Structure 1
């Protein structure tokens, strides 16, 4: 498997964790609304960044 594809999958995992945290207000322990919103957005942004970098590297042919 190309490492860029693996990085994209990991980024997608972070994106899902962010959505889960934001929606269900739980990450290792119960979170209040503000904490869930902040952690969720943080994970979503980081996951999106990882996916973007993986796609960019894949298109440039980097290994």
Structure 2
């Protein structure tokens, strides 16, 4: 159960990181806009996927009880 909540927090972290990459165009080095936007979008999408997966697992574990 703790893993599901940790996955939810990690998903939020990826979304914030994606927004930071898009806004500041920086990820370990200065990025060109042509690289920063797709990388930020991928990070945001992955964060949304992790949140979706965590929420679905939390709901499934609630139905088992």
Q: Is TM > 0.5 for Structure 1 vs Structure 2?
A: yes
Aligned positions, number: 62
Matches within 5 A, 1:33-52: 33-52=33-52
Q: Structure 1: state its 5+ residue gaps.
A: none
Q: 2:5 — aligned with what?
A: 5
Stretches (4+) displaced over 4 A:
none
* CA–CA separation in structure 2 for the residues paired with 1:52 and 1:46: 10
The answer to which structure has the higher strand fraction is 1
1:5-35 per-position Cα deviation (integer Å, ceiling 9, x unaligned): 0000011101110000011100000001110
Quick check: which has more Rg, 1 or 2?
2
Q: Structure 2: state its 5+ residue gaps.
A: none
